[in-house]
């Protein structure tokens, strides 16, 4: 008898998520809706904990970052200015036989022999002059490619078609065929990912608005208001957590690529390097081993960018995602957006592969400049210290400065295939304003996905253990080893026996007392081992059991103490009820 095959890890994670109430398919009773997911009781707690840890780390524990909570639907001009209306699209290709839709850049690269037909005819005399091709993978018989050809012409209305004008050609690394059946795909066409809706009752094109595809743009659009109302000064950041919507061509890998998801984004505004140079005399640029522990006044964008990569890595480490499960991808110049100076993706080793969790981009002044241009409202800041420092430069020093900056901007324009003369003019205008103490801030943007992070912490926490009971029976159990900060339930509270009123009363008292400070779960049903197992599967890091010692039946010394059991090593210790909070809170906050 063959041993049944173990389901792969991702399948087990998905199944646990449903069984224990972490994540469900949206609208499941109606067959679900692709790319949309709901969070059950435990999942909602995990997400809330992630949101809270992010918000606390990114703003409450910092003096230089403030929060924002903006609307999902904003003025459509925002998305024109940001470039989303014109360029926020993915290439889409359809299978000519099954009509299945693919993201063209996600189709697996394949090699083999392409069978091409100029057309087909059938027994009724019907013909088709459409050419069609199919890829034959190595080792497969030519008939399988011809079968796909027949399916194509059948779908064009021919009965038992005979293929015509067959030619063959060897190809390598093509993405032009459906990897599932070898059929030709349509040429890729851009597909805009923004969902749209209509604001107001008339629903004309003039009322068209978009569900935001990222939270970042609201931060740029409100930059001036926040600056004027928060008493912040560059360098400072504005962060936001909220829903984003993208009509992804192929949502996939459970919640990893969804159509509705949450983002946690920071826009950290810094002075351009040229301003730092005028203010500080020189600019600190990144070099291996540079000290990133505390921001310095002479930091240029490279140092700020590296600083945020370090900060974000420390955040992940602090919620249990260590260096063993993280990786980094520094985008190559070809991958970078035209306005970006650098971008690093923080990756997580998901069961389906190492994929992006967060992107940290140095975006220059692109966003605020775009909004300045499109809204007509200045987005510049004024820095009196900068104006004073510039006034101390003599004319020769200013001229040298302007020449150098102009040369640098022109070189960058040339590299990015932009108009060099326009860049020179812009550089001179920029320097003129800089000497008056004015500039449009540059931005470093750490942008993370909350749902991806929830999936990462659930997949990372998933462990299986073989446990042998007193009768020698071995059972495989699931344990979610969440970091206590992220665990949905922090503490299980159990009376040892449910038919002993004094134990139940004391357990309820402990539960009532602690639940105001941490998320507790009261459970009195089943053997104590079962109750521990249930909490292990939910990822609860601590459980306390109220027993006869607690109620003083074994003497005064143990009265008002409980058994505190630790999930990860199963260790148990006696702890005074009055000391429980002091022991647990530092580990979960």
DSSP codes joined into one string, 542-559: EEEEE-TTTTTTT-GGGT
Q: Indicate which single residue of 356, 380, 408, 524 sits in contact with ligand GAP (rule: CB under 6 A).
A: 356
Tell me which stretch binds ligand GAP (CB under 6 A): 17-25, 222-230, 255-263, 516-524.
255-263
3-state class of 186 per DSSP? Answer: coil
Determine how β-strand 196-198 pairs with β-strand 208-210. Answer: antiparallel
Tell me which stretch binds ligand GAP (CB under 6 A): 159-167, 254-262, 298-306, 388-396.
254-262
Q: Is 237 in the site for ligand GAP (CB under 6 A)?
A: no
Closest CA to 40 of 11, 19, 10: 19
Q: How far is the CB of 460 from ligand GAP (least distance, A)?
A: 15
Q: Indicate which single residue of 211, 357, 480, 580 sits in contact with ligand GAP (rule: CB under 6 A).
A: 357
* Residue with smallest beta-carbon separation from ligand GAP: 449
* 420-435 and 395-415 helices, crossing angle to 10°: 140
Contact 574, 549 (CB under 8 A): yes
Contact 115, 166 (CB under 8 A): yes
Residues 256-285 that bind ligand GAP (CB under 6 A): 257-258, 261, 263, 265
Residue 278 or 444 with smaller CB distance to ligand GAP? 444
Q: Is 82 in the site for ligand GAP (CB under 6 A)?
A: no
Q: Is 192 in the site for ligand GAP (CB under 6 A)?
A: no
Q: Indicate which single residue of 45, 358, 383, 549 sits in contact with ligand GAP (rule: CB under 6 A).
A: 358
- Residue 450: partners with Cβ closer than 8 Å, 6 or more residues away: 47, 50, 51, 54, 241, 261, 262, 263, 264
Size of the site for ligand GAP (CB under 6 A): 18
Q: Indicate which single residue of 45, 90, 94, 248 sits in contact with ligand GAP (rule: CB under 6 A).
A: 248
3-state class of 483 per DSSP? Answer: coil
Residue 357 or 487 with smaller CB distance to ligand GAP? 357
Residue 89 or 181 with smaller CB distance to ligand GAP? 89
Backbone angles phi, psi at 262, to 5 degrees: -115, 140
Residues 441-460 that bind ligand GAP (CB under 6 A): 447-449, 451-452
Residue 183 or 241 with smaller CB distance to ligand GAP? 241
Build a one-symbol-per-residue string for 29-68: x at contacts with ligand GAP by CB under 6 A, - elsewhere.
----------------------------------------
Count CB-CB contacts under 10 A for residue 156: 14
DSSP codes joined into one string, 508-573: HHHHHHHTTTS-EEE--SS-HHHHHHHHHHHT--EEEEE-TTTTTTT-GGGTTEEEEEETTT--EE
Tokens for 123, please give them. Answer: 């027994």
Respond yes or no on whether the N-terminal peptide bond of residue 235 is cis (omega within 30° of 0).
yes
Q: How far is the CB of 285 from ligand GAP (least distance, A)?
A: 25
Q: How far is the CB of 485 from ligand GAP (least distance, A)?
A: 20
Q: Is 532 in the site for ligand GAP (CB under 6 A)?
A: no
Ramachandran class of 231: left when φ > 0, alpha when ψ lies in -120 to 50, beta otherwise = left
Residues 471-530 that bind ligand GAP (CB under 6 A): none
Q: Is 90 in the site for ligand GAP (CB under 6 A)?
A: no
Reduced 3-state DSSP string for 46-107 = HHHHHHHHHHHHHHHCCCCEEEECCCCECCCHHHHHHCHHHHCEEEEEEECCCCCEEEHHHC
Residue 171 or 336 with smaller CB distance to ligand GAP? 336
Closest CA to 208 of 227, 219, 195: 195
Q: Indicate which single residue of 45, 90, 94, 214 sits in contact with ligand GAP (rule: CB under 6 A).
A: 214
Q: Is 84 in the site for ligand GAP (CB under 6 A)?
A: no
Q: Is 370 in the site for ligand GAP (CB under 6 A)?
A: no
Q: Is 327 in the site for ligand GAP (CB under 6 A)?
A: no
Residue 20 or 246 with smaller CB distance to ligand GAP? 246
Chain positions contacting ligand GAP, by CB under 6 A: 214, 216, 246, 248, 257-258, 261, 263, 265, 356-359, 447-449, 451-452
């Amino acid at each position: 008898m063959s041993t049944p095959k173990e389901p792969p890890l991702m399948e087990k994670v998905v199944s646990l998520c449903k069984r224990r109430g972490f994540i469900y398919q949206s609208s499941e009773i109606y067959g679900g809706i692709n790319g949309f997911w709901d969070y059950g009781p435990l999942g909602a707690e995990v997400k809330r904990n992630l949101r809270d840890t992010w918000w606390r780390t990114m703003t409450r524990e910092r003096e230089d970052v403030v929060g924002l909570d903006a609307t999902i639907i904003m003025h459509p001009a925002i998305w024109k200015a940001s470039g989303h209306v014109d360029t926020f699209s993915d290439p889409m290709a359809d299978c000519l036989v099954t009509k299945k839709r693919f993201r063209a850049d996600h189709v697996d690269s394949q090699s083999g022999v392409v069978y091409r037909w100029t057309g087909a005819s059938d027994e009724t005399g019907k013909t088709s002059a459409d050419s069609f091709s199919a890829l034959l993978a190595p080792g497969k018989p030519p008939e399988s490619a011809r079968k796909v050809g027949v399916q194509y012409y059948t779908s064009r209305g021919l009965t038992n078609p005979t293929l015509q004008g067959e030619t063959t050609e060897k190809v390598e690394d093509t993405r032009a065929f459906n990897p599932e059946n070898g059929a030709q795909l349509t040429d890729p066409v851009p597909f805009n990912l923004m969902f749209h809706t209509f604001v107001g009752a008339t629903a004309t094109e003039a009322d068209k608005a978009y569900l935001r595809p990222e939270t970042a743009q609201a931060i740029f659009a409100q930059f001036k208001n926040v600056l004027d109302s928060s008493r912040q000064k560059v360098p400072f950041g504005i962060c936001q957590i909220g829903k984003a919507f993208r009509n992804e061509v192929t949502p996939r890998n459970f919640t990893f690529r969804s159509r509705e998801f949450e983002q946690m984004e920071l826009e950290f505004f810094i002075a351009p390097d040229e301003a730092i140079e005028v203010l500080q005399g020189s600019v600190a640029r990144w070099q291996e081993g540079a000290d990133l522990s505390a921001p310095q006044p002479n930091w240029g964008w490279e140092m700020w960018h590296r600083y945020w990569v370090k900060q974000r890595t420390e955040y992940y480490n602090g919620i249990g995602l260590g260096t063993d499960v993280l990786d980094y991808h520094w985008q190559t110049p070809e991958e970078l957006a035209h306005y970006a100076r650098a971008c690093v993706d923080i990756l997580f080793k998901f069961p389906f592969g190492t994929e992006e969790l967060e992107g940290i981009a140095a975006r220059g002044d692109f966003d605020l400049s775009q909004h300045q241009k499109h809204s007509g409202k200045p987005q510049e800041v004024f820095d009196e210290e900068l104006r004073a420092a510039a006034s101390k430069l003599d004319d020769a020093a200013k001229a040298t400065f302007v020449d150098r900056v102009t040369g640098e901007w022109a070189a960058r324009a040339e590299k990015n295939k932009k108009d060099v003369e326009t860049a020179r003019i812009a550089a001179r205008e920029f320097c003129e304003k800089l000497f008056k103490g004015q500039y449009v801030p540059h931005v470093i943007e750490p942008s993370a996905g909350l749902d991806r992070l929830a999936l990462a912490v659930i997949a990372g926490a998933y462990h299986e253990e073989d446990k042998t009971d007193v009768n020698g029976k071995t059972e495989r159990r699931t344990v979610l080893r969440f970091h206590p900060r992220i665990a949905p339930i922090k503490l299980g509270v159990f009376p040892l026996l449910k038919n002993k009123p004094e134990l139940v009363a004391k357990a309820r008292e402990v539960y009532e007392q602690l639940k105001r400070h941490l998320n507790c779960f009261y459970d009195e049903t089943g053997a104590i081992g079962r109750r521990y197992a249930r909490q292990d599967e939910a990822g609860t890091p601590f459980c306390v059991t109220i027993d006869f010692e607690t109620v003083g039946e074994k003497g005064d010394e143990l009265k008002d103490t409980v058994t505190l059991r630790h999930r990860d090593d199963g260790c148990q210790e006696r702890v005074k009820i009055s000391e429980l909070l002091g022991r647990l809170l530092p580990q979960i906050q």
